[in-house]
Homo-oligomer: A and B are copies of this chain.
Amino acid sequence: MKLQQFQHYLQEKKIDAAFFHNLEGMQFNATMYYFSKYTGSGVLLIPQTGKPFLIVPQLDEERARQTKTNVIPWKKKKLFETLQETMKKEGIGRKNIGIDYEHLTLSWHHMLKKELGKKLIDIHPELISLRRTKTKEEQDIIQEGCRKKISIFQKTLDAWNNFKTEGEAAAHFQYIAAQQGFSLSFPTIVASGKHASLPHYEPSQERLQRGFCVIDCGIRYQGYCTDMTRTLFIGNPTQKEKQLYEFILSIQEEVMEHYKAGAKVSDLDFFVRKKLGKYEKLFIHSLGHGVGLDVHEAPPISARSKEILQEHEYVTNEPGIYLPRKYGIRIEDDLLITKKSPIVLTKACSKQLQCF
């Protein structure tokens, strides 16, 4: 996205080129996608000016050619030979090479030191800083992704009475997403009854159980993740159960108004903990996180973080309480940060307690 801004940074810091790679199977590499929209395997080399280079195995050459980068297939020769030849031919310096300390493994670091550059410089902070605020184009994609996700979630609720197990409910969401050609941000969580006390529960083949049922789901739309949680009720809630849900919902809505550019994220987390009173000890995770090409990215919205919210960040607001082996409740919205109240991207999806 912000390729020119990144190249300007490289020039300023006298970094000859930045090196990224994705050679471990078929994983999605967010930074490579960010600068090239490429989802295959290979190496992305970004020089100080001009189009980036994708050096790819033959197997992915055709896919790479669908991007706007310079594509160099690496065939009989070894990867580093091809890379060195390319750099020489294109006049790309090899004195200072930018690498991502948060992603590069020790094995790759040893190889790069040997094969590529004299000085390897950590550019992770710059990448984080570029990616955390979203461009207009990214915001449009994210808004559309949230709309599509809500529609798939709604279709899942419409079919709810057909589901006997948590696995069936999760499978249905995923089926509609796949039918529409979307992959997932993460495997769908459907956690009913006592299972709801596990925030990262993996749905089972057990029958849906009476009580709160936490559904945490997201699709990936044009690379960008969405991440929303709703809590339903299976059976008839007691007055106390209704009140507990309403209590969490009211806190989730109250804190929402404080999500704005300039807010200290630790204040947001602390606000929720204070409001929770005696339930605070059941709030066993942080209030939220940034979202983007990775489902968890900067900034974290937690008590320990020193971050300040910035305009055009895309973050979650997800308080929850969990009583082991008893119940769990979590309500999560996706927000775009502005100078005033946030844009709630998941507003169209009701938060009234729905019972089945």
Q: Known: A171-B179, A175-B174, A296-B24. Contact between A106 and B107, CB under 8 A?
A: no
A102 contacts B102, C-beta separation under 8 Å: no
* Nearest CB on B from A42, distance (A): 11
Evaluate whether A199 and B59 lie within 8 angstroms (CB atoms) in the complex, with A179-B167, A180-B205 already known. Answer: yes
Q: Contacts of A183 on B, CB cut-off 8 Å?
A: 187, 202
Chain B residues with CB below 8 A from A202, complex form = 39, 183
Determine which of B59, B107, B181, B204 lies in contact with A285 in the assembled complex, contact meaning CB atoms within 8 Å.
B59
Residues of chain B contacted by A62 (CB below 8 angstroms): 197-198, 324-325
CB 8 Å contact bits of A176-189 with B (1 = contact, 0 = none): 01111101001100
Tell me, yes or no, whether A26 is within 8 Å of chain B by CB. Answer: yes
Set of chain B residues within 8 Å of A2, measured between Cβ atoms: none
The distance from the CB of A279 to the nearest CB of chain B, in whole angstroms, is 14
Residues of B with C-beta under 8 A to A204: 181
The answer, yes or no, to whether A104 is at the interface (CB within 8 Å) is yes
Of the candidates B58, B105, B187, the one whose C-beta lies within 8 Å of that of A105 is: B105
> Nearest CB to that of A297 among chain B residues?
B25
**Chain B nearest CB, measured from A113 CB (Å):** 11
Q: Which residues of A (191-215) have their CB < 8 Å from a CB of B?
A: 197-205
Which residue on B lies nearest to A168, using beta carbons?
B179
Residues of B close to A295: CB separation below 8 A = 25-26
Q: Is A103 an interface residue (CB 8 A)?
A: yes
Residue contact A170 to B178, C-beta cutoff 8 Å: yes
Query: Nearest Cβ in chain B — how far from A217, in angstroms?
Result: 12
> Chain A, 99-117, contact with B by CB distance < 8 Å: what is the 0/1 string?
1011111110110000000
Partner of A174, one of B99, B107, B178: B178
Q: A173: nearest residue on chain B (CB-CB)? A: B178
Q: Which residue of B lies closest to A202 (CB)?
A: B39
CB-defined A-B contacts under 8 Å, sample of 29: A24-B296, A25-B186, A26-B200, A26-B295, A58-B284, A59-B199, A59-B200, A60-B199, A60-B200, A62-B197, A62-B198, A62-B324, A62-B325, A63-B201, A99-B106, A102-B107, A103-B105, A104-B105, A105-B105, A105-B106, A106-B106, A167-B179, A167-B180, A168-B179, A171-B175, A172-B175, A174-B178, A181-B204, A183-B187
* Seed contacts A41-B200, A63-B200, A106-B109; 10 additional CB < 8 Å A-B pairs: A24-B296, A25-B295, A26-B186, A26-B295, A39-B202, A62-B324, A63-B198, A101-B110, A180-B205, A183-B202
Give 10 nearest A-B pairs by CB, closest first: A171-B178, A175-B175, A101-B106, A58-B284, A171-B179, A59-B285, A25-B296, A181-B205, A167-B181, A101-B107
| Residues of A near any B CB (own CB < 8 A) | 24-26, 39-41, 57-63, 99, 101-107, 109-110, 122, 124, 167-168, 170-172, 174-175, 177-181, 183, 186-187, 197-205, 284-285, 294-296, 324-325
